[in-house]
């Protein structure tokens, strides 16, 4: 009897044991010296918050990826030579213990690629016509109605289904691959249409807005037929990458339809909902959407992607959202990855304004850029035009502010931060100055001053950086976004000479 008990205990452990798996590439005539391997097990905490992509050296045309895995998953391999426009990508489906040998000529990979070794039946090139199909549907981006693109997606899916049928008959792949590709074909119209329609407002503009209800009706019909809380879909990379984007598109939809706010905030009146919404239109709203539309593992994953995108970016309300998340998912594998970042956010909240953060009083008396230049005359200054409402601005603070100041420590460089369109957010403005430790001079700009400065700089985006020189001249940063710090360093060094 004891032997049977021991077997019953140990077998589940053995089933979860990780087994070495590898993909060996042999590429002729390659013009790159590295290839990447991307783990598409995106809902796994270690992948979502860890190193998803591994760069592997390609030496004499050979590169090998290997890892310990406990279940079948997709690994995307590829490279891109921007000089020669040489591009290769391949979606491998590997199971524990697989050892794939892949060879091809980089000059003509489509006709020369050969896959051999253990697991070869799951990885023949024909399957890439489905898994690596990246049809953009650009031809329909000006359409005001959804029916042409829906037909195109439907036809493409029929093509996929035939390819999968042919593949299964020819290669007899593992049942796990058959099941995941069947799901792929079933859900392809859903995520493809929702991805396209979610961005259509940017392409078709007013024409889309006039017919938005028709686009939404198609979306509703697809989501009604296909449950989005099906965790079997987590094995499909396209789907798990789609989910966080879909959450953002739902948020944007609510932004433009504030009559929906009482539904999401569970309030009796629009006024109550607006008050809650205005406290945090980003992170809390996404949490509300998650709780209304998703459940179980899907909701848990979307919470994790919310944290991933907001940490070191727009961190509003994250400790409060985290507290609610932990209560709902006390054993979540994401918690060890999130807790240190949340503690850091809580510590930053304790920061106060210091005498190194100079607030210019009566800043509304400044109406022109010339007046600002007079304020800093004879100094070399890095000007940062930002706003509390600006999504990229906090991320730039987190990634670059401390590094810039450390680089120019003990140098004759000063910092001027001008907040724009924030006259009604004065308290929030001061909180963020302390939160991000923005030592320097601060101006809360009038709309008139903002218009004059941005017009003079010929810029419309935020954040905007400029270097103000001792002689009263100035130049826009050439560092771009996301900021290339080395480019900015060179510009400032030249200004300091």
pLDDT at residue 17 in the model: 59
pLDDT at 1 over 80: no
Residue 486 burial class via C-beta count within 10 angstroms: exposed 0-12, middle 13-18, buried 19 and up: exposed
The 10s digit of each residue's pLDDT in 141-150 is 999 999 999 9
359-371 per-position pLDDT tens digit: 998 878 899 999 9
| Pair of tokens at residue 41 | 């097990």
Mean pLDDT of the chain: 93
For the record, the structure tokens of 310 come out as 């907001």
Q: Is the pLDDT assigned to residue 272 strictly greater than 90?
A: yes
pLDDT at 15 over 70: no
Terminus-to-terminus CA distance in the chain, angstroms? Answer: 85
Which of the four pLDDT bands, split at 50, 70 and 90, describes residue 87? confident
pLDDT surpasses 50 at 311? yes
pLDDT over 90 percentage in the chain:
88
User: In this structure, is the dihedral angle defined by the CA atoms of residues 279, 280, 284 and 285, taken in order, positive or negative?
Assistant: positive
Give residue-wise pLDDT tens across range 206-242. 999 999 999 999 999 999 999 999 999 999 999 999 9
Rg of the chain's alpha carbons, rounded to an integer? 27
Nearest to 285 by CA among 312, 257, 230, 296: 257
pTM: 0.88
Contact 233, 187 (CB under 8 A): yes
CA-based nearest residue to 382, from 283, 243, 264, 475: 475
Q: Is the pLDDT of residue 14 over 50?
A: no
pLDDT band of residue 7 (cuts 50, 70, 90) is very low
Whether the Cβ atoms of residue 200 and residue 194 lie closer than 8 Å to each other: no
Sheet containing strand 53-57, edge to edge, reads 53-57, 34-39, 73-81, 86-94
pLDDT the model gives residue 431: 95
What are the angstrom distances between the C-alpha of 212 and each of 204, 209, 379, 475? 11, 5, 52, 43
Confidence (pLDDT) at 481: 86
Please check whether residue 460 is in contact with residue 435, taking contact to mean a CB–CB distance below 8 angstroms: no
Place of tokens 């807790």: 339
Average pLDDT over residues 76-94: 90
Is 70 exceeded by the pLDDT of residue 3?
Answer: no
Q: Which helix (H) or strand (E) holds 114?
A: strand 114-118
Q: Does residue 99 have a pLDDT over 60? A: yes
| β-pairing verdict for 474-476 and 464-468 | antiparallel
Cα separation, 462 vs 397, whole angstroms = 12
pLDDT of residue 474: 95
Segment 408-465, tens digit of pLDDT:
998 999 999 999 999 999 999 999 999 999 999 999 999 999 999 999 999 999 999 9
Say what the pLDDT of residue 149 is: 97
In the Cβ-directed half-sphere of 475, how many Cα atoms lie within 13 Å?
A: 12
| pLDDT for 313 | 87
């Amino acid at each position: 009897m004891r032997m049977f008990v021991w077997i019953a205990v140990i077998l589940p452990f053995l089933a979860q044991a990780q087994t070495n798996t590898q993909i060996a590439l042999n590429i002729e005539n390659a013009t790159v010296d590295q290839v990447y391997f991307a783990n598409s097990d995106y809902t796994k905490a270690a992948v979502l918050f860890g190193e998803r992509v591994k760069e592997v050296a390609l030496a004499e045309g050979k590169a090998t990826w290997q890892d310990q895995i406990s279940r079948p998953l997709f690994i995307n391999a590829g490279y891109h030579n921007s000089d020669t426009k040489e591009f290769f990508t391949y979606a491998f489906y590997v199971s524990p213990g697989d050892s794939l040998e892949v060879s091809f000529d980089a000059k003509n990979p489509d006709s020369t690629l050969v896959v051999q070794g253990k697991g070869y039946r799951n990885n023949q090139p024909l399957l890439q016509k489905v898994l690596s199909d990246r049809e953009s549907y650009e031809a329909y981006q000006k359409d005001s109605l959804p029916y042409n693109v829906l037909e195109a997606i439907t036809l493409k899916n029929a093509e996929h289904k035939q390819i999968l049928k042919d593949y299964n008959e020819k290669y007899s792949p593992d049942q796990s691959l058959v099941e995941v590709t069947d799901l792929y074909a079933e859900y392809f119209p859903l995520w493809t249409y929702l991805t396209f329609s979610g961005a259509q407002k940017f392409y078709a503009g007013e024409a889309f807005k006039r017919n938005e209800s028709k686009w939404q009706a198609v979306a509703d019909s697809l989501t009604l037929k296909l449950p989005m809380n099906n965790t079997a879909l987590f094995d499909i990379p396209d789907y798990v990458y789609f989910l966080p984007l879909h959450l953002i598109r739902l948020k944007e939809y609510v932004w433009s339809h504030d009559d929906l706010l009482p539904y999401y905030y569970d309030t009796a009146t629009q006024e109550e909902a607006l008050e809650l919404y205005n406290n945090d239109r980003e992170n809390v709203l996404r949490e509300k959407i998650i709780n209304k539309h998703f459940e179980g593992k899907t909701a848990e994953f979307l919470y994790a992607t919310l944290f991933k995108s907001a940490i070191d970016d727009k961190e509003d309300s994250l400790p409060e959202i985290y507290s609610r998340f932990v209560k709902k998912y006390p054993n979540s594998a994401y918690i060890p990855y999130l807790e240190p970042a949340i503690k850091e956010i809580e510590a930053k909240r304790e920061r106060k304004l210091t005498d190194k953060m100079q607030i210019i009083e009566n800043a509304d008396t400044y109406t022109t850029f010339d007046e600002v230049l007079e304020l800093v005359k004879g100094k070399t200054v890095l000007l940062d035009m930002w706003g509390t409402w600006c999504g990229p601005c906090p991320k730039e603070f987190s990634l670059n502010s401390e590094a810039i100041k450390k680089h120019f420590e003990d140098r004759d460089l000063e910092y001027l931060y001008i907040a724009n369109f924030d006259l009604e957010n004065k308290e929030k403005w001061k909180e963020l100055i302390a939160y991000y430790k923005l030592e320097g001079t601060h101006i809360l700009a009038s709309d008139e001053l903002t218009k004059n400065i941005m017009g003079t700089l010929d810029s419309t985006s935020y954040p905007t950086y400029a270097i103000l020189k001792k002689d009263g001249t100035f130049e826009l940063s050439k560092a771009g976004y996301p900021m290339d710090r080395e480019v900015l360093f060179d510009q400032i060094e030249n200004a300091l000479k």
